[in-house]
Amino acid sequence: MVMQGAAMVFYQKGARAASVEDILAAARISRRTFYRLYESKDDVLLALYKVGTERLVDECARVARERTDPIHVVEGFIDAHLRNATQLGRMVFVLGGEASRQESILHPARMEAHARLVEILTAKTPPHDPWLTRGLLLALEGVTRMMLEACDEGRKVTPAAVARVRRVMLRMATASIAGEGPQVAPVPLPPEQP
């Protein structure tokens, strides 16, 4: 109940504007019950973030187990990330924005998830500097954030926006991992203006 109520509050108000009182009202629980389970609003925020990142890391690990071609592995990572952003748009926007702040309680969990994703991906791609993979993950995360911003901060993620960002991500990823050749995705062109 607390997690569901908190998710609704963070969705509506964002991470910083939400209060424990807002969570209590949304979850319909007493202050005493809340503090038996969590020490603060930040603890709930961290628990929600970890659920989301675990889901993403688990999906990427599954993709890496099932696929052998590095480009197909990268494509699976992108698709997993975009499914997460599509299904949880506003929450990805709110929690991802908070996690990108170095002083946030979420930041260490973000770095841990990145380290796990880098480890999974570098094991499936040709030898390269791990900073390339880390930089690629940060870039893909940034492009996803741009899409979510353009889609009413994740409230209205459209199939057209997902298709566009997927093309951009594939170009970035394939050019980074494959370098050049037939597996490198074409340069994405901007959508035609109405």
Q: What is the tens place of the pLDDT at every residue in 128-168?
A: 788 888 999 999 999 999 999 999 999 999 999 999 999 99
**Average model confidence (pLDDT) for the chain?**
91
How much is the pTM?
Answer: 0.86
- Domains of the chain in start order, with CATH, are 1-38 (1.10.10), 42-177 (1.10.357.10)
Alpha helices in the chain (DSSP H): 2-13, 20-27, 31-37, 41-66, 70-87, 89-99, 107-122, 130-150, 159-177
Per-residue model confidence (pLDDT) at position 25: 95
What would the mean pLDDT of 10-38 be, rounded to a whole number? 94
At residue 80 the predicted structure's pLDDT band, cuts being 50, 70 and 90, is very high
Output the six-digit token pair for 33.
């019950």
Which are the contacts of 140, defined by CB distance < 8 A and separation ≥ 6? 77, 78, 81, 169, 172, 173
Task: For the chain, report the end-to-end CA distance as a whole number of angstroms.
Answer: 45
pLDDT at 125 over 90: no
